[in-house]
Structure 1
């Protein structure tokens, strides 16, 4: 299993150390390891994310996997160039299962008995399920306003739920105070980089399901940025291995009530400045100060992409439009569809420089939009 390395100072940490952040304060990434998938062997492999095992930092554990991954990729009825990837059909009904499966596998391999995580909901439900399956006690810190459906999922899987008053940032602060307890794994979907390598299988699946080609644009909702960074990892690896000719452009979407990354992109900043966390129905991306914000901005720019935001009114309308197509998703999952709708209908702010760039990306000849979480998680 590859070790961890600080993205700022280069210090290495054995993965067995359960380190989640460098002593210099820098974020940790997975150290380099051989990542080239044997494309010729793929047709004979099981339809799960573990079919790309050569690109993953850990081997599958048959006792933990639930067959997660390889979600359907279907055409949108509303927009001919758009394909929708249905990650809300994964075992705990969100894309977070991809990273949770990898982290739980790592934890069991290391003999961990207790883990903790903070979440706005979906990561907590995924961790509760996979750590419960691995026989590892799990405590989940969540905002007290978290959707009841998500809280019910966590508790059903046996997790201890710690409700934190205030915003998502307050929840993160409470978790960081508790992190670092001896023998307890901080299984953060933001801080632990093994999670990102589980999520990157989303990008590999897009490539394979599209006949081993990548679209012009991939749209992703972004709060903490785990899906975006996972996609960037996958697309970079596919191009480096000669399995794809070019990177798709990443178009990230935020909620207008909490859009630090969009603002940083518009202002040409290398890192976001924390904003006030406004109320939004897209609770999963309401992150006022994303820890990996610098990496997110760099990844988007490296692909020639951009970051925009949509209002709650646009998100609610997009959610209903998707439901009319037979696809019931939570509001956070509808923001990308809302952005495509705004670009097609030209209802965006033409004075906004990021939207002017996004308009062409979102109306390209081939676009993939994720549907990340099921509607019953946030039925209202």
Structure 2
């Protein structure tokens, strides 16, 4: 098992400090045969429920990933990443995050006996900072937008392993598990709405379903205030990002933007943008159903509402991942 540059094909060891190729290309994970990561370190993660509900007159399935151990789908990636790092003998890591990934990686690294330094934007919600601190991680607050936290972590990564949920392909090796679970629960879905910031769930779903042999239609959802994937997908001028309540997907310059667009295009899918008012309305509706998620999670429900306005086909299996608990806001 090793990393390979998607651009030039150069190989890199999993244990090295490099998080991208000398040529600037990003890494993919190369495995021999049926190689897989063993998972002796666990926080009790299990298959999350697939809850069948009716919204806006349409039948959908909520994938309840906000019920993961740290309250977000990021645990899927963190459990694989942390276990491999432990196996490799890595004792200290850095990571940058707007909250959920930082909390998840901090938790699993703590369970694995690995020291973590989590770089966060200074505007990160206090609930998420409190959670990260509870796991014993070192929190480094970085002034300015989300991208500044990434730059600071990458500077630190010159000397310390970069346990990135964006650059490290081991993370996607974990997030692909959602596809396998859905397949076991209902077979292949027809459509999946996915909140898209850095693309860790979008690309995980793409990888997982490709491995299973069927790629459902992927509908990536972004805030209209921060929508680089939408601009890329529809060949539009890049828009200046603005603040949004969907802070978990407010990523102005996702490193894997080209991969994200290619995954959506190959699936025959599309990219949608949603307003903050639509997100609030969707979150309120979920709350009245007894489901409490953070605003970023509600974007898929808002997108589904817009999508269903053009017609409802209840013969299709539609999945909406709910990615983060409302307790984290």
Name the TM-score, length of structure 2 as normaliser.
Answer: 0.96
1:258 aligns with 2:226: yes
Q: Per-residue deviation at 1:274?
A: 5.7
CA distance in structure 1 between the aligned counterparts of 2:239 and 2:76, rounded to whole angstroms: 29
Check the 8 A contact 1:344/1:363 in 2, yes or no: no
Counterpart selection for 1:196 from 172, 191, 216: 172
Runs of 5+ consecutive residues of structure 1 not aligned to the other structure: 36-53, 240-245, 347-358
Contact 1:255 1:285 in 2 (8 A): yes
Offset, 1:77: 3.2
Measured after TM superposition, the shift of residue 364 of structure 1 is: 6.9
Counterparts of residues 210-359 of structure 1 (less than 5 Å): 210=186, 213-239=187-213, 246-267=214-235, 275-345=239-309
Retained in 2: the 8 A contact 1:274–1:288? no
Alignment-derived partner of residue 175 in structure 1: 153
**Structure 1 position 30, deviation (Å):** 0.2
Cα deviation, residue 275, structure 1: 4.4
Paired residues, number: 328
1:186 paired to 2:159: no
1:368 alignment counterpart: 319
* Residue 71 in structure 1 maps to residue 35 in structure 2: no
Residue 67 of structure 1 and its aligned partner are, at CA, apart by: 2.6
1:128 maps to 2:106: yes
Offset from partner CA, 1:40-68 (integer Å, 9 cap, x none): xxxxxxxxxxxxxx7xx31121xx21232
Distance (whole Å) between structure 2 residues aligned to residue 110 and residue 32 of structure 1: 16
How far apart are residue 80 of structure 1 and its match?
A: 3.8
3-state DSSP class of the match of 1:317? Answer: helix
Question: How do 1:16-95 and structure 2 match up within 5 A?
Answer: 16-35=15-34, 57-61=36-40, 64-78=41-55, 79-95=57-73
1: distance between equivalents of 2:129 and 2:217? 35
Contact 1:255 1:312 in 2 (8 A): yes
SS in structure 1 of the partner of residue 116 of structure 2: strand
Out of 73, 79, 82, the residue aligned to residue 101 of structure 1 is 79
Aligned counterparts, 1:137-152, within 5 A: 137-152=115-130
State the shift of 1:278 in Å: 1.0
Distance 2:53 2:292 in 1: 14
**Distance in 1 separating the partners of 2:168 and 2:114:** 17
Contact 1:107 1:185 (8 Å CA) reproduced: no
Distance across 2 between alignment mates of 1:276 and 1:141: 24
| Cα RMSD (Å) | 1.7
Q: Is the 8 A contact 1:142 1:163 kept in 2?
A: yes
Cα displacement (A) at 1:344: 2.3
In 2, the alpha carbon distance for the partners of 1:363 and 1:165 equals 47
After superposition, the C-alpha distances for 1:193-223 in whole angstroms (9 at most, x for unaligned) are: 000010000011010011xx21110110001
Report the TM-score when normalising by structure 1: 0.83
Deviations 1:217-248 (A, max 9, x none): 01100010000000000110000xxxxxx320
Which residue does the alignment assign to 1:209? 185
